[in-house]
Structure 1
Amino acid sequence: MPTPERTSLDAIVAAGRELLESSGPAGLTMQAVAQRVGVRAPSLYKRIRDRDALLTAVATASADDLTRRLDAAGDDLASLARAYRDFAHAHPEAFRLLFTAAAPEDALHRASAPVLHACADLVGSEHALEAARLFTAWATGFLQMELAGAFRLGGDVAEAFDYGMSRILAGLTTA
Structure 2
Amino acid sequence: MPTPEKTSVEAIVLAARDLLELDGLAGLTMNAVAQRVGVRPPSLYKRVGGRDDLIRLVAEATLTDLARRLDATADPVELAAAVRTFGGERPAAFQLVMTPGAGVPVARPEYGEAASRAILDLAARLAGPDHALEAARTLTAWVVGFVSMELSGGFTLGGSVDDAWLFGVTNLLDVLSTTDREE
Report the TM range for the smaller structure's normalisation: over 0.9
Moved over 6 A (4+): none
Q: Determine if contact 1:122/1:173 at 8 Å carries over to the other structure.
A: yes
Structure 1 residue 86 corresponds to structure 2 residue 85: yes
Match of 2:120 among 116, 120, 123: 116
CA drift at 1:93: 0.3
Q: Is 1:105 equivalent to 2:104 in the alignment?
A: no
Deviations 1:44-89 (A, max 9, x none): 0000000000000000000000001111122x32111000000000
CA distance in 2 between counterparts of 1:155 and 1:104 reads 40
State yes or no: 1:158 paired with 2:154. no
Report % sequence identity.
53
What code does the residue aligned with 1:163 have? F
3-state SS of paired residue (1:11)? helix
Equivalent position of 2:11 in the other structure: 11
* SS in structure 1 at match of 2:132: helix
TM-score by length of 1: 0.97
Deviation per residue, 1:105-126 (Å, 9 max, x gap): 2111100000000111111111
What's the C-alpha RMSD, in Å, of the aligned pairs? 0.9
Residue segments in structure 1 that go unaligned for 5+ positions in a row: none
Shift of 1:103: 2.6
Residues paired across the two proteins, number: 174
1:5-27 deviations in Å (ceiling 9; x for gaps): 00000000000000000000000
Q: Which amino acid aligns with 2:47?
A: R
Query: Which moves more between the two structures, 11-20 or 161-170?
Result: 161-170
Question: Any gaps of 5 or more consecutive residues in structure 2?
Answer: none
Q: Distance in 2 between matches of 1:159 and 1:72?
A: 24
